Structure 1
Amino acid sequence: MHSDRPVFVIGCPRSGTTMLQLMLHSHPRVAVPPETRFLVPAYFSRRAYGDMRLADNRRRLAGWIAEGRTTKFHELGLSRPDFVQAAMLGPGSFGSVIGMVFKCYAERFGKPRWGDKRPSYYRHVEMLMRLFPDAQFVHLVRDGRDCVASLKQMPWYKEDAVHAMANWAEAVDFGRRNARRLPDGTFYELRYEDLTADPETELKKLCVFLGEDYDPAMCEPRHVAELAVPRHKVWHSNTHEEVTTAHSGKWAARLESWEISLCEEVLGERLTAYGYELSGARKADRDHVGAYKAAVSKRRTARQRKYNRDRLTRLREPGPIAALLTEGQRRLAGLPQQRTPELLRA
C-alpha cells in the first residue's frame, strides 16, 4: 500500500531544494508546490484564529491564506472559494486547515500525495511535526562554499557573506540534530553533488525512503518547471535546464580569497564531514572570525526569542493542532477512512 505521508524538502537556501522539489513534483503520485510562505506565520499567530473545531474559525484562517498579500496562494492555481469551502468542510484542527491547501494543490494535478518545500523549514521541523506528526523530511546538503557564493548573488538575500556562512552552518547543525532525534523513516539526507552527478541512483534511494516506486520522469524536472516555478523567480532559471554538475565548485571563482579562508576555517569540520575537500586556504583574519561568531550569536538569539514566545503559546493553545488528513493520523484519532471524491477540481 502506498503512503500518503506529507513530504517536506528542507536545507540551506541555494542548496538545490527547488530542483529537488521539481523532481518530486515530476513523480506521478506526488505534488510539491512552489514556496507558499503562509505556514510558519500562520502557526505563530494561531491563537488569533481560535479553536479550529469551529467552522467559522476555519473559514477565517482559510480566508487569510487565500487572500493574504504575502501568502503566495495566488501562485498555486487554486480557486479561493473552493479552497475555503474545503477547509470549512475538512477536519477541525489547525494542521488540517494548513494541510488542506497542499491537498487541494495535489488534487489539481490528480495526485494523492502532497509535499512542501521551503529551505528555512530546517529550523522548524519540531513545529512541522506538531502539525503533521507522520511527515517525512528530505534534507538536501550542498557544499557550503557554493551556497555562500550563490546567496551573495541573490537579489532577495540582504545579508553579507559572513551571515550566509552562519546560515549554512545552522542548516547543517539542525540537519544533524534532526537525524538524531526524529523517528526512523522520518528524516533523509542527501548531497546536491551526488544528486546532480547520478540523479537516477539517488532518486531511487529517495523513493525507497518515501515508500514510492521510482519513476524516470523524476530525472527530467525541467519538464514541470514551467508549471511549478513562478516566472518572476528568475534566480531559478537553471531549473528549466537539464540536471547538471556544472554548478558545483563555482565558489573557487566567485568567492574572494578572504571569504574562502573564513569558510574553510569556521565551516571546515562540517565541510569535511560531508565529504567536501578543503583548498588549504590561508588562516582567516581574526576580525572575520569575530564577525562570523557575532552573526551566529545574532541568529541564535533571534531564534531563541521566537521559540520562547511559542512555548508560552503552547500553554494556551485554543484547539487541536495535528492534521487529520492522512490515513495514519485518522486511524489514530479513531476517524473513518477517507473516501476519494475530489474536494477541488482542476
Structure 2
Amino acid sequence: MLSSHPRLAVPPETRFLVPVYYKRRTFGDMRIAERRRALAEYIAGDRSTKFRELGIDKDDYIRQVVEGPGSLGSVIGTTFKMYSDRFGKPRWGDKRPSYVKQVDMLTRLFPDAQFIHLIRDGRDCVASLKEMPWYTLNSFHAISTWAEAIDAGKRLRRTMSEDSYYELRYEDLTDDPSTELKKLCHFLEEDYDPAMCSPREAASHAVPVHKVWHSNTHGEVTRARVGSWAKRLDSWEIRLAEQALGDRLEDHGYELSGAPKAAKEHMLKFQKTMQKRRGARMRKLMRDRINRLREQGPVPALLTSGQLALAGLPQQRAESELPQRVM
C-alpha cells in the first residue's frame, strides 16, 4: 500500500540492516573510504542480504557508497535511496515485524525516521506464523513473539513523539482502507493517493515471486483472513493464546472467545519461553551497550535534509533534491 504512493518506496525485506549494525565494529570506521567499500561489497555480495531483490546495480551501489558520507547509516541508507530512485520517489522505508523491538537501534541509524506499527489479532498472527515455510519455532515462541511486539509498542507510545510513531490495526485497514490510509498519510505529512487502496500493481516489484506466503498482496484488499485463527489453531493453542495474551488482546479491541483456561503445563512452558527470550534480549542489549563505547566511527545516516539538520551539518545539495525524512 505504501509503495503504491507516488512518493513512497518500500522494498522487499532486505535482511541486512540488523546484522550489519551488530557487526559494525568488524567493518571499522566508515569515515575511511576503503572501509565503506568493504561494507558495501558485503551488503551487495553476501547471499544472506537479499540485495539482489532490490534491482540495484552492484557496482554503482559500491561507487555511491565510497563517494558518499562516512557513516554506517549512510552506507545502509544508500541501498534504500537507490531503490527509491529506481521509481523516481523521494522517500524510502524498510519493513520487518521485528523492527518494533529494535526502534532504538533504527533511530541511531536514521534519527529522522517515522515508525508505523501495524497490529493484528495475536491469534491470527500465531496461526500465520505456524504456516510460514521459514518459521521453525513452536507455538509457545509464536505467542511470545506477539506479546513482545505489543509490549514494545506500548513503550513506544509512551516514549516517542506523535509525529514519529503511529499505530493502526490490520482489521481496520482491511475493513476501510481509504479512511485508514488517509489518516496514515496525515501522519507521514503526505497527500493521500487512491492508488494506495489497490496495491497489487506495486506488489509486482515490492513482493518477490518466491514469497508465496505473500500471494494475497497480488490481489484486491481482502478481509478473508480476519478471525481465521478459530479454524487454523488447535483448541489448546486458542486456550493458551487467550490466557497468555488476554489483556493485550482486549486492550487493542479484540474479543476473547471464552475458551477454558490453558493446561498448567502449557502455561508453564509459555512462561519459561518468555523468560528465555527475555534473557537473550537482555544479553544482546548489554553487548550492544558495550560496543557503543567502542564504536570506531559515526552511526547516523547523513542522506536527508532532516538527518543533516540533526547532525548540525550544512545541506550538501539543494533542499528540493533531498528527501525530508526517512519512513
Contact between 1:331 and 1:337, CA under 8 Å: does it hold in 2?
Answer: no
Gaps of 5+ in 1: 1-22
Per the alignment, in what secondary structure is the counterpart of residue 116 of structure 1? coil
> Of the candidates 101, 111, 121, which is equivalent to residue 89 of structure 2?
111
> Of the candidates 170, 180, 201, which is equivalent to residue 223 of structure 1?
201
Write the distance in 1 (CA, Å) between the matches of 2:44 and 2:165: 30
Gaps of 5+ in 2: 323-327
Partner of 1:20: none
Trace 1:1-346 onto structure 2 (pairs within 5 A): 23-332=1-310, 333-339=312-318
How far apart are residue 183 of structure 1 and its match? 2.6
Per the alignment, in what secondary structure is the counterpart of residue 51 of structure 1? coil
Contact between 1:134 and 1:328, CA under 8 Å: does it hold in 2?
Answer: yes
Q: Aligned AA for 1:139?
A: H
How far apart are residue 184 of structure 1 and its match? 3.1
Write the distance in 2 (CA, Å) between the matches of 1:303 and 1:297: 10
Per the alignment, in what secondary structure is the counterpart of residue 74 of structure 2? helix
Per the alignment, in what secondary structure is the counterpart of residue 49 of structure 2? coil
Write the distance in 1 (CA, Å) between the matches of 2:294 and 2:244: 41
Post-superposition Cα deviations, 1:123-174, rounded to whole Å, max 9, x if no partner, equal 1100000011110000010000001111111111111111100000001000
Write the distance in 1 (CA, Å) between the matches of 2:115 and 2:309: 22
How far apart are residue 77 of structure 1 and its match? 0.4
Write the distance in 2 (CA, Å) between the matches of 1:331 and 1:39: 23
How far apart are residue 341 of structure 1 and its match? 7.4
Question: Percent identical across equivalent pairs?
Answer: 62
Q: Aligned AA for 2:43?
A: I
Write the distance in 1 (CA, Å) between the matches of 2:214 and 2:266: 31
- Residues matched between the structures, number: 320
Post-superposition Cα deviations, 1:260-287, rounded to whole Å, max 9, x if no partner, equal 1111111000000000000100111100
Structure-2-length-normalised TM-score = 0.96
How far apart are residue 225 of structure 1 and its match? 1.0
Per the alignment, in what secondary structure is the counterpart of residue 292 of structure 1? helix
Q: Aligned AA for 1:243?
A: V
Write the distance in 1 (CA, Å) between the matches of 2:115 and 2:195: 21
Post-superposition Cα deviations, 1:210-231, rounded to whole Å, max 9, x if no partner, equal 0000000000111111111111
Contact between 1:76 and 1:105, CA under 8 Å: does it hold in 2?
Answer: yes
Structure-1-length-normalised TM-score = 0.91
How far apart are residue 109 of structure 1 and its match? 0.7
Post-superposition Cα deviations, 1:200-251, rounded to whole Å, max 9, x if no partner, equal 0000000000000000000011111111111111111111111011110001
Write the distance in 1 (CA, Å) between the matches of 2:37 and 2:144: 39
Write the distance in 1 (CA, Å) between the matches of 2:61 and 2:45: 11
